Structure 1
Amino acid sequence: MAGARTHENVPVLLVDDEPKVLEAHRRTLRGRFDVHTAPGGEAALEAMAARGPFTVVVSDFKMPDMDGITLLARVAELYPDTVRMILTGYADMDTAIRAVNTGAIFRFLTKPSEPDDLAMAIDAGIEHADMVRAARELEIVRRLKDGFEQSLRAFTRLVEFRDPYTSGHMDRTADIAVMIAERMGMADDDVAGLRLAAMVHDIGKVAVPSHLLNKLGELSDAEFTIIKAHAEVGAEIFKGLGVVWPIARMIREHHERLDGSGYPDGLTGDGLLLQSRILAVADVIDAIITHRPYRHGLGRGEAARYLLGGRDTLFDAEAVDIALTLMEEDHIREPGD
C-alpha cells in the first residue's frame, strides 16, 4: 500500500457478522482510516445513532438479523450523504442490481476482498463524498450570491430614482471595472466582489438632497462637501456586511487618488485596495463620457486625456493602460454608440 493516499481521521464503519473478518479489516485498514465495526445491521444503526454519520459504510450482504442491502437502504434514508458499499461472496447479477437500485450502492465488492482493493474502494468513496459536499456548498454560495446581487440591484434602483442622471451609471461602471480586472488577471472571486461593489458604489447618494444631485449650475464648496460625504455614507450602509468581499472599503475608497488628493481619507498608493483603484478608473471613465446635470458627455477622447494626465499620480497605471486599450478596441462606448 506504499504511496497510497490516507484518510486517517475519516470515520468508516465496517459491518459483518463474522468477528474474524472484522478483526482482519481492523488490522489491514488501521492507520489509513478511522475504522469502526459493527457485528450486524441493528448494531450498525445503533453505532451510527450514537457516533453520528459515517463518511463510508461497508456492509456484508448475508447477515442473520438484517441483510446488507436492507441495512444500506435504511442508511440511505437516515444518512443520505453517507457513501454505501456492499461486500459479499454472493456476487450474482440479481444481487448487484438489487443492491444498486434499493440501497443506492456506490460500490459492489466481492469476498474475499484484497486489503488494497477494499482500501482503494473506501478512498474512492471518501473522495466521492468530498466532491458531493463541495458541489452542494458551491450551489449554496451561488444562491446566496444571486440573492445578494438582487438586493444590491434594488439599492441601485433607489439611487437612480432620486438621481435620474446617474441611471445606469453604476451598472456601466461595474461593467468597465470587470473588464479591467479580468485583463489584469484578477481572481474570479475578487472580480465578483469588485462587480458587486461597483454596482452600489454611489449608494451613499441616498443621503444627498435631491436638489444638489440635480443642480444644473456649479456647486458651492459647502454643497460639494455634502456630496462628497456619499462615499462615507455608502461605506457605512455596508459596514459589517457578512460577505467575504471588502465591499464597504471599495465604496469608501472609490474617490481616493494615489497621491492622496482624493477623499474621504486622503489615502495614497498601496494604502488603496487594487479593486478600489480599478473602480476609481472605471467610475471616472463613465462620469466623463456620459451626460451629467451640468454638462453633456465629453466623449472617450476627453476620458483618455484625463486618465493619461493622472496616470501613476492619480490613477493606477496598469488600470489606466488597460482602460485605454479597451476604449481603443471599442469595448467601452459612449451612450448612444
Structure 2
Amino acid sequence: MPVPDGCLILSEDISDYKLAIEKVTYLYSLQTAIRNINQLVLLADDENQLYQLVCQELGKLEWIRLVWIGFVERGNYNVRPVAHAGFEDGFLSSVRITWDDSEYGMGPTGMAIKTGKPCIVQDTAADLTCRSWREERLKRGYVAWAAFPIVYRGNIIGTLNVDSAKANAFGNEEMAFLEEVSRDIALGVKTLRTLAELEQSNRMLREALRSTELTICAMLERRDPYTAVHEQRVSLLAVAIGKEMGLPEDKIEGIRIAGVVHDVGKIAVPAEILSKPGKLTDEEFNIVKAHVQVGYDMMKTTQFAESILQAVLQHHERLDGSGYPRGLRGDEITLEARIMAVADVVEAMSSHRPYRPALGIDKALEEVSRNKGILYDSEVVDACTRLFAEGKFKFE
C-alpha cells in the first residue's frame, strides 16, 4: 500500500525535528559544561584541584571516553599526566608521550605543544602518527584523539587531551568547546599563580616589616630600656582596645605595630633628658615633643603602612586641638592614633617614670575618663575602661 505524500512529508518533518532537538540538547550540554568549568576555575584552591575538577566535569560528557591534562617537562621532553577522568585503565602509565621529534612526539599531544595549536587524529586505526600507541589505544576504545595547548604567559605549559570512542568525533562545535576549556584552564592557572605570587610577596613584606620592627625595638632597648618596655605594653593595650572595639584583624595588626614603634623618635632625644628625675625645662620639653616628627621621618622610608606612620606622628594629638605636633582636632586624628593616645597615657600614668613613682591604673583610667570626648576619643576610652573593669586585660 503506497504511503500518502503528506504522511511522508510529516515523517521527514518529525525526523528533522528530532535531530534538531538532539542538536539543541547536545549544544546545551556543552554550554552547561562551560558554565560549570568557569565556576570551578574560580573555586579551585590549587592547580592540582583545578586540573582534576575540570577533567571530572569533561568526563561527564557521553562522547568523551578519556580526558587528561599533561604537563610539559622541559628537561626530558616528556609529557607528565597530572589529572584524568573517564576510562583510563592504566593507559597513561603504559605509554610514553613526548614533545620531541621522536615517534612518541608525533601524536596530537606532542604536536600541540610544538606548534601551539590544537591537533586532531580523527581515527587512530587509520592514522600513521598514532602507530606508537595504536594497540594500547584501540583495545581501550580510544578512536579519535585531540590535544589543546594550555598557554601561560606566552609559554605552553601543558595540554588538554581528549579521547572519544567515535571516529570523526571532533567537529567544529567540539573543537570550539575544548579550545574554550583550555583557555579556561590557562585562566585558572594564571589566577592561582598570581595569588601565590602575591602571597609570597606579602609574606616577604611581612618578614621584612617584622625584621624592621625587631631592629627598631633592639635600638630602643639599647638606647632607653624604659621606652622599649613602654612601647611593648602600649602595643598590648592598644591591640586589646582594638579587639574590644571589634576592629578587623588587619587594622589590629597595624595598631600592634604602631604601638611597638610609636616612640621610635626618642632615639634622637638625649639620654639625660629622657632619664631626668625632675621637671623638664620648656626647651627640653620641646626636644621631647619633636620625637613624633623624628619618628615619622625615620619610618616614612620603610614599607610600613601609612596608617602606622600617622599613628606614630599623631599619638600626642588631642581631640580639642591642644596636642602636638599639628594641633589636629576630632576626626582629623586617625582612629589608630586615637587608640594609641589612650593606651599611651594609661600605660605611662600606671608605670614608674624617672621623675615620679607609678600613679596606678585607677588614676590612669580616671584621667582618660574625665577627659573623654575632650582630649580622648569616647569610644576608645569606653573600650579601655571595660577591659580593666571586666578583667579582660591587665599589665603584667
TM-score of the pair, normalised by structure 1: 0.68
| Aligned 8 A contact 2:149 2:182 in 1 | no
Which residue matches 1:190?
A: 251
Matches of residues 1-337 of structure 1 in structure 2 within 5 Å? 1=31, 4=35, 41=110, 44-45=113-114, 64=129, 84-89=158-163, 119=180, 123=184, 126-127=187-188, 129-335=190-396
| Count of residue correspondences | 273
In 2, Cα distance between the equivalents of 1:319 and 1:166? 23
Quickly say closer, same or farther: Cα 1:83–1:207, change in 2 above 3 A. same
Residue 129 to residue 329, structure 1, CA distance change in 2 (3 Å) = farther
CA spacing shift, 1:186–1:83, aligned 2, 3 Å: farther
Which piece of structure 1 moves more, 59-68 or 260-269?
59-68
Letter in 2 for 1:280: A
Q: How far apart in 2 are the matches of 1:276 and 1:251?
A: 7
Structure having the higher Rg: 2
- Which blocks of at least 5 consecutive residues in structure 1 are unaligned? 8-38, 48-56, 92-109
- The structural deviation recorded for 1:153 is 1.8
The runs of 5 or more residues in structure 2 that have no matched partner are: 1-30, 42-107, 134-144
CA distance in 2, matches of 1:135, 1:316: 40
CA distance in 2, matches of 1:242, 1:148: 7
SS in 1 for 2:161: strand
**Aligned-pair CA distance for 1:223:** 1.1
Whole-angstrom CA distance in 1 between matches of 2:303 and 2:228: 28
Specify the SS of the correspondent of 2:320: coil
Q: What amino acid is the match of 2:214?
A: R
Going from structure 1 to structure 2, the CA distance change for 1:201 and 1:115 (only over 3 Å counts) comes to same
SS at match of 2:374: coil
Q: Which amino acid aligns with 1:189?
A: D
Instruction: Compute the RMSD of aligned alpha carbons.
Output: 3.8
Aligned 8 A contact 1:60 1:88 in 2: no
* Partners of 1:83 and 1:126 within 8 A in 2: no
Secondary structure of residue in 2 paired with 1:87: strand
CA contact (8 A) 2:292 2:325 kept: yes
Q: Residue by residue, what CA displacement relative to the aligned partner does 1:136-179 show, whole Å, maximum 9, x if unpaired?
A: 31232023112211212211221222222223211221121122
Q: Compared with structure 1, are the counterparts of its residues 190 and 111 closer, same or farther at alpha carbon in structure 2 (3 Å cutoff)?
A: farther
Structure 1 Cα separation of the partners of residues 268 and 220 of structure 2: 10
Deviations 1:103-148 (A, max 9, x none): xxxxxxx968596677567546633541342133123202311221
Work out whether residues 41 and 71 of structure 1, in 8 Å CA contact, stay in contact via their aligned partners in 2: no
Deviation at 1:58, TM superposition (A): 7.5
Please tell me whether the aligned partners of residues 109 and 147 of structure 2 are also in contact (alpha carbons under 8 angstroms): no
Q: 1:334 to 1:40 in 2, by over 3 A?
A: closer
Identity score, percent: 32
Whether the 8 Å CA contact 1:60–1:87 is kept in 2: the answer is: no
- Distance in 2 separating the partners of 1:268 and 1:235: 19
Give the aligned residue type for 2:292: A
> Any conservation in 2 of the 1:165–1:293 contact (CA below 8 Å)?
no
Counterpart residue type for residue 310 of structure 1: N
Report the secondary structure of 2:391's partner residue: coil
Contact persistence 2:262–2:312 (CA under 8 A): yes
Using a 3 Å threshold, how does the CA distance of structure 1 residues 115 and 274 change in structure 2: closer, same or farther? same
The question of whether the paired residues in 1 share the 8 Å contact of 2:109 and 2:146 is answered with no
For the 8 Å contact 2:118–2:147, the answer to whether it is kept is: no
Q: Deviations over 1:232-254 (max 9, x none)?
A: 11011112433444332211101
TM-score (norm 2): 0.59
CA gap 1:45/1:297 in 2 versus in 1, 3 angstroms:
farther
Go from structure 1 to structure 2 and tell me whether the alpha carbon gap of 1:216 and 1:191 turns closer, same or farther (over 3 Å shift).
same
